[in-house]
Amino acid sequence: MAAQKGVSPAKFKALVRKETRRRAHPHEANFLNITAMMDMMTIILVFLLKSLSSSSANLPQTSDLALPSSLLEGEPATEGIQVVVSSDRILVNGNELKGVEVPKCFQSAAEQPKPNENYHLAFCSGDSRGGFDKKFKARGKAEDIEITPLLSALENPVKVAEEVAKQKKKKGVEAMVVFDRYTSFRVMTEVMFTLMQAKISKFHFLALSGKK
């Protein structure tokens, strides 16, 4: 705006300020701050990964789960997907696989050890029963060894564990596996095969420290 003839400098400045105020508009952010958004998403991701990762310190203690004894000594695992196979159910990170029953090791009360009896190696007659029911198998056959509900339950925990491994620059997914002391070999075989099918590459077996 140019000064008009006959207008004093003071009045001209007043007109400029008035015109500036008239054309002024509130400040609006018309761009995205990608750096700040990435920082925020990283913080949220780390929080979720830490909250979803498991620890051996919070393993469930239930009446249907008795740990076997071990003479081996070593540092216990601190992180990994929790897979608990009790006498009658399976839990993944504390979540029970609904409707999935673990085949019994002993087929009669006469074979079953007494509650106060010390742990001892025992032959499970359930080994000859074909493991989990065929309705839980991938192809619907009793001789199969992949447990479909367990494989499905491991999908999301494995994805989370893979992200945690990337953050910590580790290779492979780890699992902390707990079997009831009287679990049949057939059941162990099917569970371990399914864990490997879920791309779990390292296992930690939890047991009570026994006497040498």
Mean pLDDT in residue range 57-75: 54
Per cent of the chain over pLDDT 70 is: 66
State residue 205's pLDDT score: 80
> Tokens 């081996």 — which residue?
72
Residue 54 has pLDDT above 80, yes or no: no
State residue 149's pLDDT score: 94
Residue 170 has pLDDT above 70, yes or no: yes
| Residues 6 or more apart in contact with residue 144 via CB below 8 angstroms | 134, 137, 138
State residue 71's pLDDT score: 46
| Residues 6 or more apart in contact with residue 47 via CB below 8 angstroms | none
10: helix, coil or strand? helix
State residue 128's pLDDT score: 59
CA atoms of 151 and 90, how far apart (whole Å): 12
Q: Does 87 or 194 have the greater pLDDT score?
A: 194
State residue 62's pLDDT score: 58
DSSP secondary structure code for residue 128 in this structure: G
DSSP for 25-79, please give it: ------S--HHHHHHHHHHHHHHHHHHHS-BGGG----TT--PPEE----PPP-B
Mean pLDDT in residue range 74-96: 80
The residue ranges of every structural domain in the chain are: 48-209
